[in-house]
Structure 1
Amino acid sequence: MKRTTLTLGSILLLGLAACGSEEEADEVTIGYFPNFTHITTVIALENGFMEEELGDDITINTNTFPDGGAFMEAMSTRDLDVGTVGPSPATQTYITNPEHSIIAGAVNGGAVLAVRDGSGIESVEDLDGANVAIPTIGSTQDIMLRHELNEVGLTPVADGGTVNLMPQAPADTSTLFLQGDVDAAATQEPWGVFLENQADATILLDEEEFAWGRESTTTVVTARNAFSEANPEIVEGYLRAHIRAVEFIEENQEEAVSVFVDHIEEITGSGLDYDETLEASNRLNPTYEINEDVLQQMATISVEAEYANSDDIEGLVDYSYLDVVLE
């Protein structure tokens, strides 16, 4: 098994070469984020599950992305075949370009709503007039926050309301809390634990309470339809590796976190605190199951936010490859 890491420029060149009809492939490009909620992909790669399940004849290329928009753009331009992404970008892109499918779940939960010490915020209602950090506009945490705001009759400033949503890199949020520049943050782990330990933040809504709780779909496995149809064996091999990763994380929590922390330092040059990341792992629920009801609610919120012009996501979820693997 060959394994390479592609730069964004090189995958663009591959994408141009791939235009036209799909044929049986001897390589696959796997995408993911260097985020904790993508731990299933990291474990599947680092523990050799992908290599074992795909076999010696398939070359594995990997590429990391900073956000869901970049991930989905690469998939839409055939520069990416399969990988993990937040459900909101996958849903929003599907509305305008239904050329991909969600083929499995990856992580549920793992997101929290944290508030700054001294902010005076003790409930979601208290976010009225607050500055709230989110990873990016249209991100899964953006949609989860909007769900909470809807429940108490609040709306973002961009929609004529009073809650100011501020796109900020999660790694920068602790500094913004300490400076008093933001009052709260809707964020994924391990950044929630980091905010607690490094900025004395309070978790207003934990993974059991934020949005749909532990049923909140945080990360999903998404595949490009043309690639999947031409290469079902590769997609099924990916899913077998994914399921092995889910089981490994459940049975070997400390080792899985150690593998993840080492991987992130290797590819980014930045280290995560092991103990804090281990603490954060208790808020994640790795899975292969898909909650279509949550996906539909997310799609409807995206329309209300004018991130999409429809919430018709019929056909987005494709169980066929997972069903084969689970037989």
Structure 2
Amino acid sequence: MLRKSWVYLLISALLIGILAGCTGADTEKDKSDAKGEQTVKIGYFPNLTHIATIVALEKGYFKEAFGKGVKIETKTVANGGLFMEAMATKAIDIGTVGPGPLLNFYVKNPEYHIVSGAVNGGAVLVARDGTGISNLKDLDGKKVAIPVIGSTQDVMLRKALKDVGLKAKTSGGTVDLFAAAPADTAGLFIQKSVDAAATQEPWGYVLENQADGKLLLDWDQFAWGKESTNTVVAARKDFLDKKDLTKAYLSAHQKAVDFIQNNPEEAQDIVIAHLKELTGKELNKDEVNAAFSRLIVTTDVNEKVIQEMADISKEAGYIPSNKIDGLIDLSILKEASK
């Protein structure tokens, strides 16, 4: 059975949904208040792979970089689709999201851009014990959980399946992709409702240790391995046009990445405390530490991998075109990093 702390997390996911609906809900009349302050709306997931945003908030890096006269608002969301919808309605200006949902929106409306990397890796493929699955080819005819249709883990799974000659059912293949919130996947394993899961951390670790899961592909083997871009910094074009604000955000983001790389244990403690403040529940330190060992915090972006993600998304029918020239703009990051 799931440990009590993780049962709490399932409940916390509902609380996070409420938080997501309540934060950053102001109208877009003008990004300034009565005092003439500008407002920057930062979005992120309450998730380990969004550690750079969390650390930058908690360490005050954003506040320091923006300076006086800029008000910071935050909005938490549960998945990339909700993040991009919030960005489209201008409830989010800039923040961290998976590249899958971002490029899906970009192809339809090229006003959204990747302006930095945030995390590589951080996702694994886990099989349920008792399914007889010991390698990728054994997924033939099986049901595999993904966070949401079109998510980064969805695209990564399709890449892994393609490498062994398999396809998802929706693409004329035999593997059934089943959308489920990562926090619900352990319950699905216990109920034997799915045979495997492509998921981000710390949920992969939870499946292994609390739901009799067996690691099928570790983070450095799944899809593009260590080059698998899990999380990026995304921004709308109208925010990028305010170059000083974008540069300030990215300088704070770079500072957070440097801090995490040099102080991994303290960074993990910051995330645990931040998520406890959001949800009222505390993540297990050992689980977070183990999950953290399966990701790389970085500002790098592998453009070849992003293009391959677009190619796979087009093959899956998620987007009408795989032409993503202009999606990635790292020019301001380069200035901010000097």
2:282 to 258, 262, 271: 271
CA offset at residue 13 of structure 1? Answer: 4.1
Work out whether residues 310 and 322 of structure 2, in 8 Å CA contact, stay in contact via their aligned partners in 1: yes
* Structure 2 residue 311 is matched with structure 1 residue 300: yes
Amino acid at match of 1:274: K
Alignment length (residue pairs): 316
Q: Does 1:244 align with 2:255?
A: yes
Cross-structure match for 1:207: 219
| C-alpha distance 290-86 of structure 1, shift in aligned 2 (>3 A) | same
- C-alpha separation between the residues in 2 aligned to 1:26 and 1:14? 14
How much has 1:326 moved relative to structure 2?
2.1
TM-score by length of 2: 0.90
Q: Distance in 2 between matches of 1:77 and 1:170?
A: 25
Structure 1 position 11, deviation (Å): 3.8
2:27 to 14, 18, 21: 14
Question: In 2 relative to 1, CA 244–271 (structure 1 residues): closer, same or farther, beyond 3 Å?
Answer: same
Q: Distance in 2 between matches of 1:37 and 1:198?
A: 21
Residue 159 of structure 1 and its aligned partner are, at CA, apart by 2.2
What do the CA deviations read for 1:198-236 (whole angstroms, capped 9, x no partner)?
Answer: 11211110111000001000000011111220x211111
Distance in 1, matches of 2:178 and 2:249, equals: 36
Structure 2 CA distance for partners of 1:9 and 1:170, relative to 1, 3 Å: closer
8 Å CA contact 1:76, 1:97 repeated in 2: no
| Letter of the structure 2 residue corresponding to residue 250 of structure 1 | Q
For the residues of structure 2 that align with 1:270 and 1:115, how far apart are their CA atoms?
Answer: 28
Could you tell me how far apart the structure 1 residues matched to 2:199 and 2:187 are? 14
TM superposition shift of 1:55: 0.9
Cα shift at 1:69: 1.0
Query: Structure 2: which 5+ residue stretches go unaligned?
Result: 1-18
2:322 is aligned with 1:311: yes
- Taking the aligned partners of 1:171 and 1:12, their CA distance within structure 2 comes to 25
Give the Cα–Cα distance (whole angstroms) in 1 for the partners of residues 80 and 145 of structure 2.
17
> What does 1:218-257 correspond to in 2, within 5 Å?
218-229=230-241, 231-257=242-268
Q: Give the aligned residue type for 2:158.
A: R
CA contact (8 A) 2:125 2:196 kept: yes
| Cα RMSD (Å) | 1.6
Tell me if 1:150 matches 2:144: no
Please tell me the residue identity of whatever aligns with 1:104: S
> CA 1:56 to 1:25, structure 2 compared with 1: closer, same or farther past 3 Å?
closer
Aligned position for 2:210? 198
Task: Give the corresponding residue for 1:76.
Answer: 88
CA distance in 1, matches of 2:255, 2:336: 11
Question: Distance between the aligned counterparts of 1:35 and 1:325, measured in 2?
Answer: 25
Name whichever of 303-312 and 52-61 sits farther off. 52-61
Select 1:28's aligned residue among 34, 40, 45.
40
Q: 2: distance between equivalents of 1:210 and 1:33?
A: 22
Q: CA deviation at 1:73?
A: 1.3
Contact kept, 8 Å, 1:43 with 1:259, in 2: the verdict is yes
The one-letter amino acid of 2:160's match is E
Q: Which residue of 2 aligns with 1:3?
A: none
Identical-residue share of aligned pairs (%): 52
**Over residues 99-137 of structure 1, what are the superposed CA-to-partner deviations in whole Å (9 max), with x where a residue is unaligned?**
121100000001000011111101100000111010000
Secondary structure at 2:150 match in 1: coil
Q: Which residue of 2 aligns with 1:262?
A: 273
